[in-house]
Amino acid sequence: MTEIYVDADACPVKEEALKVAYRHDLVLHLVSNQWLRLEVGERINKVVVGDGFDAADDWIADRAGEGDICITGDIQLAARCLEAGAQVLGHNGKPFTQENIGMALAMRELKSQLRDMGEDRGFNASFSGKDRSRFLSALEAAVQQAHRR
């Protein structure tokens, strides 16, 4: 049975993920380093991990697998979940796939080096309503795809 794993600490689409999970009666895991102020139902699992480095990522990567869906903005976690056979969506609804994860990892490394040299200040575009809508559509499509498997 498909389960949804959300890297929840900085996730701007938790409410949207909850809506889709309720609609399809799926188990959803909200994994974070701190308590989340969300009212949830019985198939929603709020997981608070320790504050150790990558504790939330490790919890998700150890459990997500074939047929599951992972929601994260963390490219390294996305790679780990893809390796385990899960579908992975970014917060803006763009999927991470076997075809694009290598480039995403390379760009992450390049940007890190540019920030270290002071050449990039790390500004990201603000999250928009269009991103939220794209995410909802992409998550719905990912659930439908998981059900077809």
Q: Give the rounded percent of residues in the chain with a pLDDT score beyond 70.
A: 87
Residue ranges making up the domain that contains 68: 3-148
* Predicted confidence (pLDDT) at residue 52 exceeds the cutoff of 90: no
Structure tokens at 62: 């150890």
The span from the CA of 115 to the CA of 137, in Å, is: 33
Domain count, the chain: 1
Q: Summarize pLDDT for 33-49 with one digit per residue, the tens.
A: 988 888 778 899 999 99
Write the pLDDT tens digit of every residue in 98-137.
887 777 667 756 666 666 677 666 566 687 889 899 999 9
What is the pairing mode between strands 87-89 and 95-96?
Answer: antiparallel
Q: Is the pTM here over 0.75, yes or no?
A: yes
- What CATH code is carried by the domain that includes residue 33? 3.40.50
pLDDT value of residue 146: 92
pLDDT tier for residue 61 given thresholds of 50, 70 and 90: very high
DSSP string, 53-106: TTHHHHHHHHH--TT-EEE-S-HHHHHHHHHTT-EEE-TTSPEE-TTTHHHHHH
Q: What percent of the chain has pLDDT over 90?
A: 61
Alpha-carbon distance values, 149 to 20, 26, 61, 67, 144 (Å): 18, 15, 21, 7, 9
